[in-house]
Chains A and B, each alone.
Chain A
């Protein structure tokens, strides 16, 4: 599986687990703010969980304005 697809899948799995959603209920193109209904504090928590999971740092300014899982995975991929 290409690396980006694998990263995207891991991001989706992590979000589904953390927000207690059915496996497969999120897709790469979903707007996570709309789909998950998260506020600014939950956004930071999700950022921490992603950083801890992938063992990277993802500066806020790189994910500012990002709202879909695929673009988020691309940002993560650039730090792996």
Chain B
């Protein structure tokens, strides 16, 4: 299969380039529907890997790349189930999303994220698996999880620690503030800046460049420069689950779900 049209995303393969487009309103929230289709995508990408040089991760939603995990679904699930069942569901979700993101992180082709608008929380964690992050100059990045009494759970901290200066990671994580694309580029989170509305076009031209290189050399270079922080990724799931079991998290989720203000990502 060289193309797929799902309810939360679509993808197509053409001339050595896979293009995945997240497209679930309002802002590509990552819940069970999106996760299921990402798992389907990874199975297809595995099969297509021998003939694939690059993969573009993009968004079809005008609001941005992704606002992160589907917190409404998380809250409703937690309300419907008792504590242990809810925690088991969260752990299962985390194990599955980690499997998807770890595979993409190590994929035997070059991954290029084309980011515009909001790229928050789980959405940023998805973008962080990419080898090259291209951002529209109006994009914004944030890890607002602490307002919920949680840490990022989709591999965010281990990947930030791998890729960026620790001082910036602390600022992003411990203040929960969002940063603009210029700042993100200055610290190395963003590799290339695009004019407004041009991130996908630049990602495509970057993919066209990547296709020219020898596949074996490309894979060797990627494996050498980008090791997967496996132990820390496992530890992140444990810390997330320890924190999730506390009542403060339900209060934080409830506040978010009921918040209709202009900055719901802030406490």
Contact = CB atoms under 8 A, between A and B. Distances in A.
Contacts of A38: 262
A52 B137 contact: yes
B263 A40 contact: yes
A40 B63 CA distance: 10
Contacts of A39: 262
Interface in A18-75: 33, 38-41, 43-45, 47-49, 51-52, 57, 59-61, 64
B140 A33 contact: no
Most chain B beta-carbon neighbours within 10 Å: one of A38, A47, A48, A49:
A48
Interface string B25-37: 0010000000000
Contacts of A57: 179-180, 183
Given A59-B175, A60-B263, A60-B266, A44 B118 contact: yes
B159 interface: no
B122 to A, nearest CB: 17
Interface residues of A, number: 18
A23 B118 CA distance: 29
Contacts of B179: 57
Contact of A41 (B64, B175, B177, B182): B64
B178 interface: yes
A40 B140 contact: no
Contacts of B263: 40, 43, 60, 64
B264 interface: yes
B140 to A, nearest CB: 5
B247 interface: no
Nearest to B120: A44
Given A41-B27, A41-B117, A44-B140, A52 B264 contact: no
A12 B142 CA distance: 27
Interface residues of B, number: 25
B84 interface: no
Contacts of A45: 117, 138
Contact of A33 (B178, B180, B262, B265): B262
B262 A52 contact: no
B117 A52 contact: no
Contact of A61 (B27, B183, B266): B266
Interface in B241-265: 261-265
A52 B262 CA distance: 20
Interface of A: 33, 38-41, 43-45, 47-49, 51-52, 57, 59-61, 64
Interface of B: 27, 63-64, 117-118, 137-140, 142, 175-183, 261-266
29 contacts: A39-B262, A40-B261, A40-B263, A40-B264, A41-B27, A41-B64, A41-B117, A43-B262, A44-B117, A44-B140, A44-B178, A45-B117, A47-B140, A47-B178, A47-B180, A48-B140, A48-B181, A52-B180, A57-B180, A57-B183, A59-B177, A60-B142, A60-B176, A60-B177, A60-B265, A61-B175, A61-B176, A61-B177, A61-B266
